[in-house]
């Protein structure tokens, strides 16, 4: 059940980095929905490798091929399956990786779990490449949500010690989300854009990598979505966001910082604005008791530095149980955050659509 | 499905703060398991209110009554249901709360979601009291895990700006876990204990509250537990930990801080120690690719300041949609963290047992 | 997950025949629903033992006690838990049963599965008594369905070789369902009533038992409910109906008999009647491709003769692996079908409500 | 969740009769398992169309293409996805079908459910063609079960009023299962083979169709598999078997006939044979209380006559709500039972493997 998700929808992801194809099967897209394939392609291209100097030079068209579920471009109520063929694979050299696990990767844990039968090529099913099908599903759900007036946008909040400005948690707008795409990196501030690019270039030169934080906002969500206890919005968004390899933390609203505050500071006063109940501040990140409050949902995900680095690292030979040195070859991103931004949006869309499916007007499709 | 959790086990929580009873039904306890009821009572007493000057004076024996699933104290393979009767309820005054939602609480979101039919008394099913059944389930799973050599311990990492020392992420031991209980508050350092108590007392005097961070360690977990993508250890632990009201963030291993680092710093080199593969550092928090590495699992949960405070706060009258002032009456914790510590352990135990159930030797029961 | 059911609702059954209590937790009852407790009691009394000469003399008030989920009799959106205390238990004598399994019972399979730790008293959690919580849940869902115009009624189709008349599969009405309760046994025909009672009396005198078939109809279901493949109406109704101990078969519409027919005979022609599409015959039992057609749903469940009989039977001593003779003592039904009728209705209601929940107007509550 | 199944495994079926491809994703195949692709092809060919005069002349190689999950032919622990390309499609003419639903088909119910957006070509995802991916999954699980000593075999029990002999419910053997394949139709008796073929030929000539019953046996299952109440073996096998279009009933052991008997006749006495507990008869069909008894599992599925027949039938024009006549064109099976036999085996294998996965020795892979 590991590669599957959903209560009201159902997505099932499959493939390995270097298998014939990767893909996703999606149940729960309403019959009659007509995906905007250009918008989807544009969304996927934000995740795709090889698009700028800031990512791995491995090039994949990554164009999804819909093999069922659409009839003349319109959802027919059957599961939608999209596959992406893996054309640009380089399976050589993997034999050594198989015996010497890369620090920070799943090579070792997979080796034990799958008893040596794991697919070591390119990380197998642990590859960041598996976020492509996640983004296909998420991209479709973003369109469905968008047609119901719900918009999702994320930006790089920080890389290393360089920070972007924050979304205004009470007033983040669709306009803010568009602003993000005006820069080279997905950030709100041109200054952060420039500094972050400098930092990434430095890391690339040194054969090192750098992590950071992504901030995501969801606006237009009605009050009352989410279920308490195990299926609150925080639980479900977390379950999806941790499906992105490299995510090691998540926080909602004022998060870890807010927890150092007094209740009198962190509590968000209620007020009436234009006949609607709102909060004056949004430390709760749009979620109270697991249920949406109508304020923007705000969360941040911590993304660890890409573990694949050129520098020599210490590892072990599993066959002989000896320490050894390892230098990872291959094509790698010095900073995965630019490509992780659409993945976080996709994960949020999948989680939210699962919770909201039965509440939104299918007529909006 | 909101109050239920599990793939290989199944727990189902029920009740409201002031209903006749609250409780939990647990499937997946192996037949033949004989719970240590004294150890369970001791565990539950760490969560129970009224045990020290640092918590609400509401007193509940909170002794679970097992109404089925045990025969002469031994699990018979049928679901185990435990209930706790709510004896010390004070349902007066709730009428006003129902119309004026408390800032930071689920009153407003519940009111919209349940169309005015929600149980407003004491927070209904959003009450922190619902962590009692969570702890019954978690307490039993901790015993099962313990008999298989897996130990779980948490401490208060920080309250406000006062920090406890950290677990040593590579070498945390059962002895460290016991040390936590030597102090009045569940912390590792006597100095933190004293300072934190001072801070909590201050908050109490001012009618305010304060939040913080809880750090949890799990030791003795074999390599290879957890499933990638949607059911990795991070996904599942998160889903459970966010079931604790007031948790607004979670991070694993080096977490948010590690994400500001270079890959060369954050990657954990592998080494062989006594014929076993280990990592030299543990920034990955015992989880790589969603799968356990055999190193201690380390995570931290951010707990927001208790929203119920005596100070006057701004809210709205829902019936007339007017702003109004609110002062929350009743018995409240100035700092929930001491009582939240066993809840975090319980949530971790439930998540882990669900993932590991089919891997551990039932003979160890 | 064995004792739990549901995709859109969630029910979790607990207890053993002679534990302190048995019960059920129900998620998915809409907030604001006000159960008719008298109607529920009347429904449960149809299943309760000791109500007529045709059932076991074990008497249990079987009055459910709602310990949470209702506030002043109205659902508040929290799970509803109802328990029934087991007052009239007789745990003596069970020691021998534990070693000598009763033919036709789960004693032996439970003994192996639970490694000797099973609860042998009164069949433990395999007891027919566990249908009481099933009927509590089903009874509530029948009320919810009833308010949306959907009615469920079942009758004894046959006992041994004595048959009742069938529902008219195209025109079964609420009036037919009421007619069933005019007789002493739940049948449509007074003649069958009398003959069946004679047969049951004979079995009782001989210390034997007899099985039969129950026919169930559901009317008022809109077109388009159910999901193809694994969650069609047949799949889901079956999953629930086989939760009733003693059910060994199920068939929909013309069922096994229809399968001996030609397609030209078994196919149901479509026609337009009062502006609505209907079928002229109803061999499909209201379900095509797993999806409701708007015609009455008709199915039949085969109920085996109660295995507990007074006659001497051959069994084995598990401890010594020797053949031995067994005569089952205790209070038993010579024919379980009268009491199984409401269980079948309850199972159908649970299955249907799970499928239809998101389609019916909650305003009808 | 409709196209997905499983608690311990997870299969997700996708595709429509005339989409680019159909297929299945399978989680839960142990890493290291090496499928016997020839045996799988042989199994699938029993379901494939066009293999004999007794089935539709539509020819599809139906060779599965494994696009991920296998590395050099060995399972790597990642989901296995197999697709079958739909090469021999004939989408013409379907426009009229879309407006005039075929009696006995899902055309009408799908039209309402999917609001006119359903894929009408060849029945869309309601096509019997969707049993090809079911058989891929089932075929793999049969191999896994087979390596653990568990064998599954089914035969046509009856077509119309012509019956094959029954499996001996206590002593069915692997040899019996092989015998089935010695005949042209999958039956035990040469006499039935000949008579049934005559009947099918008659139906074909008349443009009619005929249904029947399939009997399935599973041998080698250990005692203690299955969970009571909602996940007993009967519940889970039923849920899977009703995934086969055209199945309208299922019965276990002595089934409907046994329910007309006395308890003293239907109860199966226990005895000790070669140091093992067995039953003298097997009216319980190898399942007591939802749990396997170690005796052969025996069940029968009722398969309705193929609804697609050449004869003129009455239907309606949905667009104008008028009665109309319909003659179904296209390539159809006069009797689907020969091809449904492997489907029943596959469904049984999927259900059983899901229940037994954690109990069988993976070393047997």
Q: Does A74 touch chain C (CB under 8 A)?
A: no
Q: Does A361 touch chain C (CB under 8 A)?
A: no
| Per-residue three-class SS string for D187-246 | CCCHHHHHHHHHHHHHHHHHCCCECEEEEEEEECCCCCCCCCHHHCHHHHHHHHHCCCCC
Q: In chain B, what is the straight-line distance between the N-terminal and C-terminal CA atoms, in Å?
A: 29
Q: Does A88 touch chain C (CB under 8 A)?
A: no
Which of C2, C76, C83, C91 should one mutate to test binding to chain B, selecting the residue with the greatest count of B CBs within 10 A? Answer: C76
In the prediction, which pLDDT does C297 show?
98
Q: CA of C254: which chain D residue's CA is closest?
A: D248
Residue D92 scores a pLDDT above 80: no
- D115 contacts in A (CB within 8 Å)? 31-32
Identity of the residue in C103, C112, C227 whose CB atom sits nearest the CB atom of D268: C103
Q: What angle (nearest 5°) sits at the alpha carbon of residue B182, between those of residues B176 and B185? A: 100
CA-closest candidate to residue C349, choices C236, C229, C235: C236
Q: How many CA atoms lie within 13 A of B22 on its CB side?
A: 29
Q: What is the DSSP string of B73-131?
A: TEE-SSPEEEEEE--S---TTHHHHHHSPPTTSSHHHHHHHTTT-S--GGGGGGSGGGH
Q: In chain D, what is the straight-line distance between the N-terminal and C-terminal CA atoms, in Å?
A: 29
Q: In chain C, what is the straight-line distance between the N-terminal and C-terminal CA atoms, in Å?
A: 29
> How many other C-beta atoms are found inside a 10 Å radius of the C-beta of residue B45?
14
- Rounded CA separation B341/B54 (Å): 13
Contacts 24+ apart (CB under 8 A), C68-74: C68/B14, C68/B15, C68/B16, C68/B19, C68/B20, C68/B21, C68/B22, C69/B14, C69/B16, C69/B19, C69/C26, C69/C29, C70/C35, C71/B16, C71/B117, C71/B119, C71/B121, C73/C34, C73/C35, C73/C37, C74/B117, C74/C32, C74/C33, C74/C34
Least confident of D111-120, D325-334, D348-357: D325-334
Q: How many CA atoms lie within 13 A of B313 on its CB side?
A: 30
Q: What is the DSSP string of D39-70?
A: HHHHHHHHH-TTSSTTS-S-------EEEESE
- Rounded CA separation C21/C60 (Å): 12
Span D34-75, pLDDT tens digits: 999 999 999 999 998 866 666 555 555 678 999 999 999 999
In angstroms, the separation between the Cα of residue C358 and the nearest Cα of chain A is 6
- B25 contacts in C (CB within 8 Å)? 3, 12, 14, 25
Tokens of B42: 């001791």
CB-based contact B327:B273 (threshold 8 Å): no
Q: Does D358 touch chain B (CB under 8 A)?
A: yes
Q: What is the DSSP string of D279-298?
A: ESS-TTTTEETTEE-SSPEE
Q: How confident is the model at residue B88 (pLDDT cuts 50, 70, 90)?
A: low
Span A142-200, pLDDT tens digits: 999 999 999 999 999 999 999 999 999 999 999 999 999 889 999 999 999 999 999 99
- C67 contacts in B (CB within 8 Å)? 14-15, 19-21, 23, 83
Q: Is A167 helix (H, G, I), strand (E, B) or coil?
A: coil
> How many other C-beta atoms are found inside a 10 Å radius of the C-beta of residue A89?
15
Check CB contact under 8 Å for B304 and A203: no
Tokens of B271: 């080494």
Q: Spell C235-272 as b/e; 16+ CB within 10 A means b.
A: bbbbbbbbbbbbbbbbbbbbbbebbbbbbbebbbbbeb
CB-based contact B162:B199 (threshold 8 Å): yes
- Rounded CA separation D250/D256 (Å): 9
Which of A68, A91, A125 should one mutate to test binding to chain D, selecting the residue with the greatest count of D CBs within 10 A? Answer: A68
Q: How confident is the model at residue D365 (pLDDT cuts 50, 70, 90)?
A: very low
Percentage of chain B beyond pLDDT 90 is 85
Check CB contact under 8 Å for D210 and C262: yes
> How many other C-beta atoms are found inside a 10 Å radius of the C-beta of residue B251?
28
Identity of the residue in D231, D272, D309 whose CB atom sits nearest the CB atom of C263: D309
CB-based contact C314:C214 (threshold 8 Å): no
Check CB contact under 8 Å for A27 and D79: no
The CATH number of the domain covering residues in B92-362:
3.60.150.10
Residue D141 scores a pLDDT above 90: yes
What does each of the 365 residues of chain C score in pLDDT, given as a tens digit? 689 999 999 999 999 999 999 999 999 999 999 999 999 999 999 998 866 666 555 555 678 999 999 999 999 999 999 999 998 665 554 555 679 999 999 999 999 999 999 998 888 999 999 999 999 999 999 999 999 999 999 999 999 999 999 999 999 999 999 999 889 999 999 999 999 999 999 999 999 999 999 999 999 999 999 999 999 999 999 999 999 999 999 999 999 999 999 999 999 999 999 999 999 999 999 999 999 999 999 999 999 999 999 889 999 999 999 999 998 876 678 999 999 999 999 999 999 999 999 988 655 44
Q: Does B7 touch chain D (CB under 8 A)?
A: yes
**What's the Cα-to-Cα distance from D240 to each of C231, C350, D353, rounded to whole Å?**
9, 19, 12
Strands (E), C180-321: 212-219, 247-252, 270-273, 276-279, 287-288, 291-292, 297-303, 312-317
Q: Does C94 touch chain B (CB under 8 A)?
A: no
Check CB contact under 8 Å for B318 and A277: yes
In angstroms, the separation between the Cα of residue B238 and the nearest Cα of chain D is 21
H/E element, B10: strand B10-14
User: Quick one: angle between helices C37-47 and C337-356, nearest 10?
Assistant: 130
* Torsion angles phi and psi, residue A345, rounded to 5: -60, -40
> How many other C-beta atoms are found inside a 10 Å radius of the C-beta of residue B166?
14
- D7 contacts in B (CB within 8 Å)? 7
* Torsion angles phi and psi, residue A240, rounded to 5: -75, -40
Q: How many CA atoms lie within 13 A of B320 on its CB side?
A: 6
User: Quick one: angle between helices D233-241 and D337-356, nearest 10?
Assistant: 140
Check CB contact under 8 Å for D252 and C248: yes
Which of D101, D109, D160, D204 should one mutate to test binding to chain C, selecting the residue with the greatest count of C CBs within 10 A? Answer: D109
Q: How confident is the model at residue B365 (pLDDT cuts 50, 70, 90)?
A: very low
Q: Does D136 touch chain A (CB under 8 A)?
A: no
**What's the Cα-to-Cα distance from C203 to each of C334, D87, D236, D281, rounded to whole Å?**
6, 62, 33, 22
Average pLDDT over residues A16-33: 96
CB-based contact D331:D57 (threshold 8 Å): yes
Q: Kindly state the greatest CA–CA separation across chain A.
A: 71
Q: CA of D358: which chain B residue's CA is closest?
A: B358
Q: Following CA atoms D8, C348, C341, C15 in sequence, which dihedral angle do they give, to the nearest 10 degrees? A: 40
**What's the Cα-to-Cα distance from B269 to each of A95, A322, B167, B277, rounded to whole Å?**
20, 13, 20, 10
Contacts 24+ apart (CB under 8 A), B203-206: B203/A262, B203/A263, B203/B334, B203/B335, B204/B334, B206/B311
Tokens of A276: 């609607």
- Rounded CA separation D272/A235 (Å): 53
Contacts of D180 (CB under 8 A, 6+ apart): D153, D154, D155, D186, D187, D188
CA-closest candidate to residue A265, choices B315, B306, B318, B107: B306
Identity of the residue in C125, C292, C305 whose CB atom sits nearest the CB atom of D266: C305
Average pLDDT over residues A289-311: 96
In angstroms, the separation between the Cα of residue B70 and the nearest Cα of chain C is 8
Q: Following CA atoms C136, C139, C144, C147 in sequence, which dihedral angle do they give, to the nearest 10 degrees? A: -150
In the prediction, which pLDDT does B149 show?
96
Give residue for tokens 């279009």. D245
- Rounded CA separation B147/A340 (Å): 41
Burial class (CB in 10 A: 0-12, 13-18, 19+), C57: exposed
- When the pLDDT of each residue in chain A is averaged and rounded to a whole number, the result is 93
Q: Does D4 touch chain B (CB under 8 A)?
A: no
Task: Name the pTM for this structure.
Answer: 0.96
Q: What is the DSSP string of B44-64?
A: HHHH-TTSSTTS-S-------
In the prediction, which pLDDT does A210 show?
97
Which of B109, B215, B346 should one mutate to test binding to chain A, selecting the residue with the greatest count of A CBs within 10 A? Answer: B109
Q: Does A324 touch chain C (CB under 8 A)?
A: no
CB-based contact D214:D185 (threshold 8 Å): no
Q: What is the DSSP string of A260-272?
A: TSBHHHHS--EEE
- Rounded CA separation B354/B350 (Å): 6
- Rounded CA separation B10/D341 (Å): 35
- Rounded CA separation B34/B76 (Å): 10
Which of A102, A260, A321 should one mutate to test binding to chain B, selecting the residue with the greatest count of B CBs within 10 A? Answer: A260
Span B167-219, pLDDT tens digits: 999 999 999 999 998 899 999 999 999 999 999 999 999 999 999 999 999 99
Give residue for tokens 């096994």. C256
Strands (E), chain A: 4-5, 10-14, 21-27, 65-68, 70-71, 74-75, 80-85, 151-159, 162-163, 212-219, 247-252, 270-273, 276-279, 287-288, 291-292, 297-303, 312-317, 322-327
In the prediction, which pLDDT does B271 show?
98
- Rounded CA separation B143/B156 (Å): 22
Identity of the residue in A125, A224, A264 whose CB atom sits nearest the CB atom of B309: A264
Q: What angle (nearest 5°) sits at the alpha carbon of residue C307, between those of residues C301 and C313? A: 150
- Rounded CA separation B226/C75 (Å): 38
Residue D344 scores a pLDDT above 60: yes
């Amino acid at each position: 059940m590991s590669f599957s998700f959903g209560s009201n929808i159902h997505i099932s992801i499959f493939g390995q980095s270097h298998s014939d194809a990767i893909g996703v099967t999606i149940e729960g897209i309403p019959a009659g929905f007509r995906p905007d394939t250009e918008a989807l392609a544009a969304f996927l291209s934000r995740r795709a490798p090889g698009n700028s100097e800031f990512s791995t030079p491995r090039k994949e068209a990554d164009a999804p091929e819909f093999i069922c579920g659409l009839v003349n471009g319109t959802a027919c109520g059957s599961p939608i399956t999209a596959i992406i063929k893996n054309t640009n694979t380089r399976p050589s050299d993997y034999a050594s990786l198989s015996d010497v696990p890369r620090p920070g990767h799943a090579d070792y844990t997979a080796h034990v779990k799958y008893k040596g039968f794991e697919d070591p090529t390119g990380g197998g099913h642990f590859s960041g490449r598996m976020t492509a099908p996640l983004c296909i599903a998420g991209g479709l759900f973003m369109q469905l949500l968008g047609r119901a007036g719900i918009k999702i946008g994320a930006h790089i909040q920080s890389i290393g010690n360089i920070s972007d400005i924050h979304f205004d948690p009470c007033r983040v707008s669709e306009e803010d989300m568009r602003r993000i795409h005006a820069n080279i990196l997905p950030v709100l501030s041109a200054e952060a854009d420039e500094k972050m690019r400098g930092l990434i270039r430095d890391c690339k030169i040194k054969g090192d990598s750098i992590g950071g934080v992504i901030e995501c906002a969801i606006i237009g969500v009605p009050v009352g979505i989410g279920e308490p206890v195990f299926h609150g919005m925080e639980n479900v968004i977390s379950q999806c966001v941790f499906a992105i390899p490299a995510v090691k933390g998540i926080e909602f609203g004022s998060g870890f910082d807010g927890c150092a505050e007094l209740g009198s500071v962190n509590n968000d006063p209620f007020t009436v604005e234009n006949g609607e109940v709102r909060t004056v501040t949004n430390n709760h990140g749009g979620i109270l008791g697991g249920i949406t409050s109508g304020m923007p949902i705000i969360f941040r995900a911590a993304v660890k530095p890409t573990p694949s680095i050129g520098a020599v690292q210490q590892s072990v030979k599993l066959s002989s149980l000896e320490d050894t040195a390892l230098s990872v070859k291959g094509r790698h991103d010095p900073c995965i955050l630019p490509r992780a931004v659409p993945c976080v949006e996709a994960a949020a869309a999948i989680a939210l659509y699962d919770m909201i499916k039965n509440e939104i007007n299918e007529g909006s499709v």
